[in-house]
Structures are given as C-alpha cells and as structure tokens.
Structure 1
Amino acid sequence: MAPMKILISGAGITGNSLAFWLSKLGHSVTVIERSPFLRASGLQIDLRSHGVEVMKRMGLERAFKAHSIPEQGMEMVNKAGKRQAYFPANDSGGVNLGFSTGFEIMRGDLCRIIYDETKSRANYIFGTSIESFEENDKGKAINVRFTNATEARFDLVIGADGQGSRTRKMMLGSEAPDGFYPLNGQYVGYFTIPRPIKDGEGYVAAMYTAPGRRGIMTRRHNAHEIQAYIGCRADSEHLKNRLQGDVSEQKEALKEMLQGAGWKTDEILESLKDADDFYCERIGLVKLACWSHGRVTLVGDAAYCPSAMTGMGTTSGIVGAYVLAGEIGRHCGKPSEKEFVEGNDNTDDLLAALQAYEEKFRPFITQVQGSVSVDGGLWDRISATAFGVALMNCLMGIAAFLRLDLLSSFSADPVKDWKLPTYEELLRD
C-alpha cells in the first residue's frame, strides 16, 4: 500500500506519540501545533499500567528515568499543617501501586523526549491550526485549510488537540453536542513557585482539604521550585464565567474562593499573582458515541478525556496512540517506496483500521471513565463541611497505617481484563 499523508493536530504527548509510531511505519506525517513553539510545560504526570509498557516499547525508558522525579510519598495535612496521613512511594517495582510510583515525570520533559525522537522523521509546523476541512473525491481524501491561509490534501486527519479539541468540534459539526461533560463545577489551577529546597525537606507531596470543597496540593520536582495545585468547586454561573475568562480573571476568582482556607493557602495565593506558567482547567470527561467520522479520527483527551480525577490521562493518550497506529499498520500494511503507487485507493483498509481502533480500545476507556462520579460522589459531600474533612483525615490516617493506598481506585489499575495488543508492524526495526 502507498504511504499515506497523515495530519496530526496537536504536538502534545499524545500527538507526538502518534507521530512516533506512524512515521516509523513509513507514512508521511505532518504535526501542526497552534502554539508558536513546542509547549514543553505543564506540571507533574505519571505513567501507569499499560502506559509504562508502551513507553518501553518506544525505547524511551532510559530517557524517562533520566528525567523522572524522585517523589518519596504523599502526606495529608490539616489546617495547622499537622500530618494526618502519610503514604510512602511504592518501591516494589509495581507500576500501578501507591499514590507515588517510580514513573513520575514533568509533562514538558516527556513531551520533549518523544518530540526529540520524532522530529527528524515527521514534519512539525508550529504557529498554525486547522481552520476547516472537507472530504473530497467521494471520501478518498480530505482537503484541509489552515489558519495561516495555506491548504493541503491528506489521507487522514487526526485530532490530538486536547480536552477542548477544535478538531472534535469540526468533526461533529456545529449543531451536535461537543461531548465534554463537566464534573460538578470543579476547577483546578496549576502553577510553579520558586522555592529552594531546605535541609532535610525531601520530595514529599502534601495535600490539604478545606471545608467548602476546596483543596491544595504541593509537590517538589527539583531543588529550586515546587508545584502548586489549587482546586475548588464553582457553584454559581458568575464564578464559572470568571473561571473561564482570561488568566488574570481566573487568578482573581481562585484567590477569592480559596483565601483564608487554612494551612499555607494565603502564602500560595500570594505567589499566584506572579506565576507566569499558570493555567486553569475545568475538570470533566469527554464521551463520544464514535471517535471517527470518515477520514477524521480523534485520540487522547480529544476523544476520551478521563479527567484528572482518574490519574490515567497520560496513560490513556499514549496507549490510545499506540493502538491507533497499530491498527493502521495491521490493516493498511507498512508502506515502502517500492510499493508506492500514485492515487492508490486505501479507503476500505483505512476505515477498517479506524473501526478496529475503536473496538479494541473502547473497553479500556470505558473502565477508566467508569470510576468517575459525575456528581462528585461521597468525596464531594464529605469535603463540604469541617466535620466531614476531619472525618476524612481520620479515615485516611487509618488507610495509611494499613497501606490501603495500594488498593485504592486512584492508585490501583482501573483496567481489568484488557490486554495490550502486540503489533509486529510497529515493533520491527
């Protein structure tokens, strides 16, 4: 089969992973990114379950380990800063056990690692995005118009452009529901704070829950700065609108909602005003009846964002990219120059590959998303009152003593009875 011209929208971890595999198959891959440069930013992520195995199959384990974060564990504290529970990092080698594992890394580091392995064989174009697309020649190709006023024709367009995917909106059409389902008005702000490490401090994450469904977590990823995560629930439309405004408005809204919550809240909020890497996220799920339409398909958060509540977003994106590329390789073959035939029609094989991708990977995503309660569940109700927070801290102390974090839904593998496929087409040298 002839090499396909494939467009990937989004140069994040998922998009770069997909470019890694598809270019290895021999296809002509173009990756576009709206940002004028590679966005090697973002806070701490981890890989779990099958995501670790895919990373190893990419040959990236050594590079990953060179940039991994030596997190020692996580503590829960009360408003006075007193430790209520402590969960040490899992050092048993298990990839799913514990709140902190041996596969913690900064998002930007993993994004750049995959990009560096891929940039020599895929064409990256920064500072542009898809303005519109339409199928032509009876569905045999797609004409794409970009925001930089250029046009090109592709065999396949893939949206890997995140939770708020513009590709998804264009694929579904302006009249169709977007597929994003917000979780109970929850928002989280992320940023880093310059803070040199002190003698004996270590790399311990700290989590504080305040009444009113508010929370803060700090994590250290190097000796010079820490990460801050500030979360809250917006119950009014006024607050929701402010939290979806510009960066300055988001900062002010979060400051207003969290001020006086206790522990180090005011100190952290004071650092917020000068943070130049701040971003705010509305927590939610993306659920679609179908991930593809014709020669357009979606992968990662654009197709099936599981929300930060699962801890499986990065893993789902990397594994989904591997399965999509694997099914393309399995159904469409690995092209070579000798097999290239101008105008060769690959429509049936490609559509079969997209269907197989969804059939193979949807059971994985269904299980990951199944652990999320849209209304917040018991945790949301407990964190509404001071008594509930105190009770939760007590229960977490018992769980820490018994090491029940190893069995928790967040730290244990949420995917049961799903086997990672082996695609010989991808793994051949």
Structure 2
Amino acid sequence: MPPVSLRVLISGGGIAGNALAFWLAKQGHDVTVVERFPNLRLTGLQLDLRGHGVEVLRRMGLEDSFRAKAAPEQGMQVVDSSGRRRAYFPANKSGTGRQAFTSDFEIMRGDLCGLLYDAAKTSNKSPQYLFGTWVESFAQDTDSKSNPELPVEVRFDNGKTDRFDLLVGADGQWSRTRRMMVGPGNPDGLQRIPGLNFAYFTMARPMQPGEEYLATSYMAPGRRGIMTRRHSPDAMQVMLSCRSDPDRLQNVTRGDVKAEKEAMADIFKGAGWIADDIIKAMRDADDFYCERMGLVNLRPWSKGYVTLVGDAAHCPTVLTGMGTTSAMVGAYILAGEISTQCADDGDGRTKAERVERALEGYERKFRPYMDHVQKDVLRNAHNQWAMAGSAFSVGVMNWLLGVAAFFKINMAEAFGIRDDIKGWDLPEYERMVKG
C-alpha cells in the first residue's frame, strides 16, 4: 500500500509556507496554499541562512539555485557621520568556522521566496496556490476516533468552505491563524519590545567609483541607527532602527504607511551621514515596511488539527538573525514528522491520529531548537544594536568596534546574531529526502 495522503491547507505564501509546501508536495500530499496578496510577494530586503538552515537547503537540493541568486555582499563596515570607515568585518567565505555578520548564504527575500515557490510547483504533486484570498474562520472536530476524515472545516473570505486533514498557519508574526487558534481573549504569544522600532525599504542610489558591495552601519546620537546594504549597482536597501522614549510610534496605527513614514522622518531628522537623502527617498518608497519589534513565544504550537510554522509560531525577531533559518528548519521538521507518521505501516490508524502524532513529534523535536534561538532575546533587547544616546557614546562604540576589527574579532554574536545550535542535531528523514 502507498503512504497515507493528507489534504493540507497552508495559510501564507512566504518563506515558511513555500518551504513546507515543497516538502509536503514532494511526499505526494494534496496541498493548497492561500495567500492574501494578489500574487506571490517578491518584495522584502536581504536575509540569510545559517547553520542548520543551510543543511535544510542542501537536503532540498537547492544550494546551486540559491547561490545563483545570492546577494554579492562582501562584509560589513561601520562609518562615522562623515562617512569615514571606522571598522570592517569581512564575510567568512571559507566554508568553515562561525559566520560573520554577512553570512556565506545571503539572498534577497523575493529571490528565496520565488526559488522555493518554483521548486514546490515542480514537486511530485504540484500544490494549488490561491492568491488574493485568506482563511476567514475555521472549526474542527477534535475526536480523532469518531471523526477520522477531514476534521478541519475552513471558511474563506469569499464565503466558500472546504475541509482538510490539517491547517497550517504560516502567516507571519501577526498571524491571524494563531489568533483564531488560541481563541478570542486568550494570549497569542506575541511579546512586544516596547520602544524598539525598525523600518525597511529600498532606494535608488547608483554605485560610486570605488564603492563595494558592503553592508554599512552608522550609529547616530539619540539612540538611532542606519544600515544600508548594497545588492544592486542601481539601488540599495535601507534599515532604520530607533529606540524612542516615549515611543514616537505608539499612537500610529500599524500599517498606516504615511503616518509611519512621517514618524520616522521626524525621528531621523538631523541624524547625520546620509540621513537627509534617506529620508527623502523613504517618502517615495513603495516597499516601505515599519516593524514594531516583538517575539512570538507560544506553547504549544498546535491545537487539534491546526498548527503554526515560521514567524507565526516562533518569530525570534530580527535581533537574532535567525528568522529565516528557523522557518526553514521548522518547515522541514513538521514535514518530516508527517512523512514518518504517514508511512505505510499497516497499523490501522486514522489520518487524524497520524496528524496528532506528527504534531506531537514536531513540538518535541523542534521546541529545544527554538528555546535556544529565543533565549534571553527579551532580556538583552535593550542592549542590542549599540543604540548610544550621546555623541560621546557613539564615538566610544566606533573606537571599540575598530579595535575588534583590527584584532579580527567576530562581532556577529555581539550584534545578537545567533548561528549554529550546539547540542542539537537536525533530524534525518531519509524517506522524505529521497522521495
């Protein structure tokens, strides 16, 4: 007999959703992905893979495709208000040792999303993608013995309904699926970091003679920071970070782009370096996104036949540099546990019972990994990104970074970036990888 096939609905067509769709389609499951945007969202700035995330990419057979689209970043430099370099930390391209701030696996978000989407569409059983729609609500029968088939009934925004063996929320930090899963009035695991805000966008800025493909970090007095990353000869990425007290953005509705831009423009007025050019470009940017920093720590990740993956389950924040890696590893383990439980073992279990055991395995095997990634993030958040208050403090920080660079000290961990998880091994799912 062939392996048991499930009907799975994935809510969210980003990194985690497409990675999971790839693995489940490879196993021959009937997969549907719903994405509220009208098409595959190929925007977003640069991200990376580290440690076990790289190994998952290799098990997918996508390393060569990834490297063909990789961002050309060579390292990170720190500059002062005049643009003079104060420190330089090159990327580690040796293939061994701890990664620097710039990983050996850097890529634009849209390129990785497209790569995973294309790979999923060419799997054994191509997933069905429904764009411009979303899960409005769901109900489930939680008795696996009396209701063994398709226990989750989903209602979409267009009024249509359908039934599935499993619903997976892969809809990001502010996950609607997560809120519905825990129920109204119950905490959904999102823990805010008050006053810490980031904004991202791209701006047109041709490369100048002698300019390299570098991440450039600038610290300004008043607990403000600017980082630019060069991925193209014609444009660069911008990340603004600030800690405001009282929070300048607290009265701005999340997603009110015009008001968010105005708030950021006020905060970064007079910040120095190229801040004026950045503010001007920000006003016209069509890919601006403002992030109120928060960590998602939910226990457990599943309820009945509904589960979560990626930032929806365990957003570790940009402070760890592990969001994409965690999404890739989590999708791999969830799919791997499903492959194990849906093997042809002849034990007579219902599909619902198999899903239950797969979700238990997902939690048991992946929770220690995420506990390590998220360890002390909230406690250490106030010290991250070296947001100095005074010009003197900025000068001291620049000097210390210059000393670290001179002695070739890897400062990735000091910036809060995690890497490999020692003492934890990526599970082997030989049947899934070879299938």
Which bracket does the TM-score occupy, shorter chain normalised?
over 0.9
Q: CA deviation at 1:187?
A: 1.2
Determine whether 1:11 maps to 2:23. no
Distance 1:375 1:385 in 2: 20
- By how many angstroms is 1:206 displaced? 0.6
- 1: CA distance, partners of 2:142 / 2:190: 32
Letter aligned with residue 383 of structure 2: L
TM-score calculated relative to the size of structure 1: 0.94
Q: Structure 1 CA distance, aligned partners of 2:239 and 2:87? A: 19
Q: SS of 1:236's equivalent?
A: coil
| CA distance in structure 2 between the partners assigned to 1:62 and 1:93 by the alignment | 15
Match of 2:419 in 1: 413
Match of 2:276 among 262, 266, 291: 266
Listed one character per residue, the Cα deviations across residues 27-54 of structure 1 (whole Å, up to 9, x for unaligned) are: 1000000001000110000000000110
2:429 to 406, 413, 423: 423
Q: What is residue 39 of structure 1 aligned with on the other side?
A: 41
Letter in 2 for 1:219: R
Given that 2:46 and 2:106 are in contact with CA atoms closer than 8 Å, whether structure 1 keeps it comes out as yes
Among residues 383, 394, 402, which one is paired with 1:397 in the alignment? 402
State the alpha-carbon separation in 2 of the partners of residues 94 and 309 from structure 1: 23
Compute the displacement of 1:95 (Å): 7.2
Residue 320 of structure 2 contacts residue 373 of structure 2 at CA under 8 Å; is this kept in 1? yes
Cα distance 1:302–1:362, how it changes in 2: closer, same or farther (>3 A)? same
Count of aligned positions:
423
Deviation at 1:411, TM superposition (A): 4.8
Aligned to 1:25: 27
Choose the corresponding residue for 1:372, options 370, 377, 381: 377
1:109 aligns with 2:111: yes
Deviation at 1:102, TM superposition (A): 2.0
Counterpart residue number, 2:182: 172
1:381 and 1:95 mapped to 2: Cα distance? 25
Q: CA deviation at 1:347?
A: 2.0
Cα distance change on mapping 1:379 and 1:38 into 2, 3 Å? closer
TM-aligned CA distance change 1:238 to 1:216, over 3 Å? closer
Which residue identity does 1:51 align to in structure 2? G
The alignment yields a C-alpha RMSD, in angstroms, of: 2.0
Of residues 309, 312, 318, the one that matches 1:308 is 318
Partners of 2:167 and 2:175 lie apart in 1 by: 13
TM value normalised by structure 2: 0.93
Q: For structure 1, which runs of at least 5 residues remain unmatched after alignment?
A: none
Distance 1:391 1:243 in 2: 36
Taking structure 1 as reference, are residues 144 and 292 closer, same or farther at Cα in structure 2, changes over 3 Å only? same
- For structure 2, the residue ranges without an aligned partner over 5 or more in a row are none
- The amino acid across from 1:122 in the alignment is P
- The whole-number CA distance in structure 2 between the counterparts of 1:271 and 1:81 is 19
State which drifts further: 375-384 or 209-218.
375-384
2:353 corresponds to which residue? 348
Q: Which of residues 385, 394, 401 is equivalent to 2:390?
A: 385
Aligned-pair CA distance for 1:237: 5.5
Give me the whole-angstrom Cα distance separating, in 2, the residues matched to 1:76 and 1:3: 52
Q: Distance in 2 between matches of 1:100 and 1:371?
A: 23
- Which residue does the alignment assign to 2:368? 363
Give 1:154 shift. Answer: 0.3
Tell me the CA shift for residue 245 of structure 1: 4.8
Determine if contact 1:132/1:144 at 8 Å carries over to the other structure.
Answer: yes
1:59 matched residue in structure 2: 61
> Which whole-Å deviations, capped at 9, do the CAs of 1:139-178 have from their partners, x for residues lacking one?
5411000002110000000000000000000000011012
CA 56–406 in structure 1, closer or farther in 2 if over 3 Å, else same: farther
**1:81-114 deviation per Cα after TM superposition (whole angstroms, max 9, x unaligned):** 2211111111211374111122100000000001
What secondary structure does 2:88 align onto? strand
Determine if contact 2:152/2:163 at 8 Å carries over to the other structure.
Answer: yes
Structure-2 change in CA distance of 1:407 and 1:221 (3 Å): closer
- Cα deviation, residue 377, structure 1: 3.5
**Structure 1 residue 300, shift from structure 2 partner:** 0.6
Once the two structures are overlaid, the 10-residue window that deviates more, 403-412 or 39-48, is 403-412
- Are the counterparts in 1 of residues 48 and 105 from structure 2 also a CA contact under 8 Å? yes
Structure 1 residue 138: Cα displacement: 3.3
Conserved 8 A contact 2:195-2:247: no
* Cα pair 2:14 2:113 within 8 Å, conserved: yes
Given the alignment, which residue of 95, 106, 131 partners 1:126?
A: 131
Contact kept? 2:142, 2:304, Cα under 8 Å: no
Quote how far apart the aligned CAs of 1:424 are.
1.1
1:265 CA displacement: 0.7
Give the deviation of 1:373 after TM superposition: 3.4
Shift of 1:308: 0.2
Structure 1 residue identity aligned to 2:351: N
Letter in 1 for 2:424: W
Distance in structure 2 (CA, Å) of the matches to 1:371 and 1:61? 32
Which among 238, 253, 260 is matched to residue 250 of structure 1?
Answer: 260
Q: Deviations over 1:323-372 (max 9, x none)?
A: 0000111122269xxx9x9xx82222211110111110111111111142
Task: Quote how far apart the aligned CAs of 1:406 are.
Answer: 5.9
1:420 alignment partner AA: L
Secondary structure of 1:59's counterpart equals coil
Q: Which amino acid aligns with 1:40?
A: L
